[in-house]
Structure 1
């Protein structure tokens, strides 16, 4: 859940513990969390990093008496998780209605990120909350898609003088009868125009990544990587958890398609760095092995030194200035690594189609 909340910095030991709590599959040792103050710190970090449902599920399932203040905090967290789950159900319903209307109008569109990840990558769908519905279409279809939304009861959110919807290819829509319904219509998940000239991820690239299936494991992994590495620069642990889960879902049978699509899109660097980060954060050999299948360039090596597990843990902490500098430098390396390249239309080699 997006938040501007900051948490106190975690020690190296606490970072390892927090990563274990945020991993949907990892079992935790109750003996590591007997300290109520430590449990409270884990909850604060979980709220800031968008992984509260996972951490709350694990902490509330422990046979431990943390004391009244932490019990109250757990109760409040449980209430918040229930609200998130209800909002996700409502958003999923409205997203399906919009997607159906677009399909009837002949507009290519796919729901991406939140609801797809929750349903396909997480054993407990409530572990992956989302606060909006992201719809990805082709850039040339944005005008037609935007024209349909008012007929479905949506209103364009107020534009300010500095609005960058057109240059970012990202349009936000809401409803006057329910302020909790937010729809984001994208022509490309790489929003910054200067970056998008070098690397784009629109409807065509999504379908390319999945071999025609926008919810294929390879497509979900590529979407999670683009979202974390090209959109938000990994400022919350939730992005790394998505990459972890998507990496775990990729099988040997998916690998040829993923490798071919990555080369065609030009995202080997992002895949290598993102998978390496997720594998190290959560100590996952399978994801680390997958990371090794991609770029071993100088830029990838430098990027892995910048985008470290500690940098991600600190991104939402009260001492996150160094993390911000590291992640911003990573964006610079992404751009530098592409200097001199001309982005062409992404297409798979004939043998991979």
Structure 2
């Protein structure tokens, strides 16, 4: 039997083994484990929420891991406690590697003031992101005051990470001419800051030119808030150049939005959004696991595909079976 009071107190004392145990409990598919995890989260909720939550995305090859390793090490050097979490939609199909996450961030992996946790290795993207959110709350209760949430995959995961965090950082490659052609407007609209990486050595000049092009592209878009215009900076995850400026801008954003109560408001909206995401996950789980529905849905799909019945009538039958 798990002593939730003892486990909660150990987490508040910053014991890493207790934190790891609680996260494993939260990620479990067992109903009894989920109940215990929710009871624990409810107890720890008043001690969470104080961290700066930063989402980080970027195209493959942009140097996310190197940058997070360097940024995290810079922050622990300033006295922060840093948790790095991952949201990986590909893990819902193939599984993720804990060792992979550790070796990608070699310095942080051995830093006593840092904690790296990969995304769960199964479930829907919504489920993975929800587990990441619960892990974030547990890390905050354990005293981590900066949480970096990395999107390992592409597509939906960017929106998921933006919905988990206070500040969304988009890393870009220096070859802006090519990059701008394929840039997804939706991601840029989510960005609170763009950082052009690999601005070191011969790449520094190219990175500055790319930054100028990104700034020009941003002028086309209306700012999401009157309080903030998306800045563009150049950094090097390899050398650490520009990370001080990058972090100063994140702190500036935090101060401006916190002063207006907008961080709290944004998080409340995110919580409501995640509530509905979890409702959707529960309904999908019923569809996947209910024996009667599992037997009936292929027949309904075939009937719709052959034109024997309408999609609406088939959906109504499924809804009735779910008690809706």
- For normalisation by structure 1, the TM-score amounts to 0.28
- For normalisation by structure 2, the TM-score amounts to 0.30
Task: Decide which structure has the larger Cα Rg and report it.
Answer: 2
